[in-house]
Structure 1
Amino acid sequence: MLFLKKSLHVGTVLPEGTMFARAEAPKSNHFSVPLESKYLATILSHFKIPDDSMKAKQVADTLRSCGEQGKKKEPHMCFSSREAMARFATRALGVSRTRAAITRIHGHETPNSMYVVEHITQVSNNVVPCRPMDFPYEVFYCHRPKEVQSLTVQIKGLKDSMPYVTATVICHMNTSGWDKQYFQLLGGERGEPICHYMPHNYIMFY
């Protein structure tokens, strides 16, 4: 889902097999503990997750990411409540009210789907993206990145020209501190803007 910003324009063909749908965690949460690593055993026991399973590792990784409050300069936090998530975004953006943008899928996706960019609209440079984490119930990781630009991209089918996706895109405008593997993968130069599409179960506040 990563690409160089300079490659995004009307007529850009997305790689074959690009899909915006993602599996969603159950939204209902009748069990709640702080999202901290010291509660890992309690969570695994409650949801009957084997200690040595891949799912247990994913839950541990999520708790670790959510607990690293002091390791990043940008505001960030995890939430199991969408209302709390919206309140955090309002504070982090310094506004009285936020709007939410999500990627919307209008057609039916298949692994053979071929898309082409039809229209691009700039949205905001002041955003809080929230991504779902691997967890037994819905948990989002939200942060307030610096030097970004968000866009809405209308995507249609390459063969039938039917509208298929209204995609939210975030571009990181200063990538000078990124690992060199990204530039090797994309064929770009260190520091140049890199963007990514947000799957349909991500939320961006602006």
Structure 2
Amino acid sequence: MDSRLTLFFFIVFYGLTTVVAVSHAALPSEVYWHEMLPNTRMPSVIRDLLRLGKDGVHVTAGKEMPKGGTTVDVRKGGVGVDTDHKGKPIEIQRVLIIYRYEASEDQLHDDQYVAIFFLEKNLHPGAKKNLHFTKTTPGATFLPRGVAQYIPFSSSKLPDILNKFSISPGSLEAEAVKDTLSTCEAPASKGEDKYCATSLESMVDFATSKLGTNVQVLTTTVDKETATQEYTVGSGVKKMAGPKSVACHGQSYVYAVFYYHETSDTTAYMIPLVGNDGTSVEAVAVCHKDTSAWNPKHLAFQVLKVKPGSIPICHFLPQDHILWASN
């Protein structure tokens, strides 16, 4: 049997052994999605995070561990976890979704950050903007909820987490873990409800608790990845129904973690874009009508030359970010 199509999760909870084998069938997390959201298509961004053999964290069974793997204890039992954590913490998360943060001088002069923001009044066919759409979420795999909920996820447990995943203190990887935990534990901004999902199941639960099950799950899709270029807004800009949406942003971590936040005074759009080289993009954007509680030195205000609370501010979502919206 092809090992890529078989996954064993071996978890022992206080002497109770549960074995789930998946072969030529949907993974348990996919089953949960279809049970909770029977009429909602699972985006490829999410499906990719369930694939076996992807860089990041791989859960295996038995005593034999892959090269470079480490064992993560789950109460009295354990699961094998192979980590391939690499890369620099993604600073764009901080200025894009954490509205209390002040932009750094480097970010103010980095086109990757600056180009994300725009004013709603400038969203019309023919509008032009220099953009670079690229995947920003680290290559990590969703853990099943039964595993994720028993792995420490707290700043107070940082030494234990680094030890379990064989991450050297002081390394870039350790800083990424620390930053993600800090982001997840920080208080929500005014008018915001936030949550960090460490499994697909918890992701679905949070979104449906805010929006119900009659939802669309939207992601930015790109024909091909290109360098920064000028894009033109095409006809067919679509405004999504409802004033509420739930956005989730991938974080730098050793397994898939998404920062979710719900804001009640927003408008979501699907925006067709065409690059100078012909590349087609269906971009997701969110416009925030009330920015009065944001840090006055947030990147958006400095880029757009506006004051907090004065005018709706919009931003594009990168490819690996997800927006949930009511139908």
Q: TM-score, normalised by structure 1?
A: 0.86
**In structure 2, what residue type is equivalent to 1:52?**
G
Alpha-carbon shift at residue 62 of structure 1 (Å) = 1.0
**1:83 pairs with 2:189:** no
> Match for residue 260 of structure 2?
142
Alpha-carbon shift at residue 83 of structure 1 (Å) = 2.4
> Match for residue 194 of structure 1?
313
Higher RCO (CA 8 Å, separation ≥ 6 residues) = 1
Map 1:28-67 to 2 at 5 A. 28-29=142-143, 32=148, 33-67=151-185
**In structure 2, what residue type is equivalent to 1:51?**
P
> Match for residue 18 of structure 1?
132
Aligned length: 201
User: Partner of 1:38: helix, strand, or coil?
Assistant: helix
Distance 1:148 1:112, change over 3 A: closer
Q: RMSD across aligned C-alpha pairs, in angstroms?
A: 2.2
Alpha-carbon shift at residue 67 of structure 1 (Å) = 2.4
Contact 1:13 1:117 in 2 (8 A): yes
> Match for residue 21 of structure 2?
none
Distance 1:123 1:20 in 2: 24
* Structure 2 residues without counterparts, runs of 5 or longer: 1-115
**1:3 pairs with 2:109:** no
Alpha-carbon shift at residue 159 of structure 1 (Å) = 4.7
Alpha-carbon shift at residue 42 of structure 1 (Å) = 2.0
Question: Cα deviations across residues 47-67 of structure 1 (Å, max 9, x unaligned)?
Answer: 222111222122112112222
Contact 1:101 1:204 in 2 (8 A): yes
User: Partner of 2:143: helix, strand, or coil?
Assistant: coil
Contact 2:251 2:259 in 1 (8 A): yes
Question: Cα deviations across residues 105-142 of structure 1 (Å, max 9, x unaligned)?
Answer: 12x22224331111311013221101011101110011
Contact 2:188 2:194 in 1 (8 A): no
Higher Cα radius of gyration:
2
Alpha-carbon shift at residue 34 of structure 1 (Å) = 3.8
**Runs of 4+ residues over 6 Å off in structure 1:** none
Contact 1:69 1:77 in 2 (8 A): no
Contact 1:35 1:78 in 2 (8 A): no
> Match for residue 249 of structure 2?
131
Q: TM-score, normalised by structure 2?
A: 0.56
Which is worse superposed, 27-36 or 184-193?
Answer: 27-36
Which is worse superposed, 5-14 or 173-182?
Answer: 173-182
> Match for residue 98 of structure 1?
215
* Structure 1 residues without counterparts, runs of 5 or longer: none
Alpha-carbon shift at residue 71 of structure 1 (Å) = 7.0
Which is worse superposed, 37-46 or 17-26?
Answer: 17-26
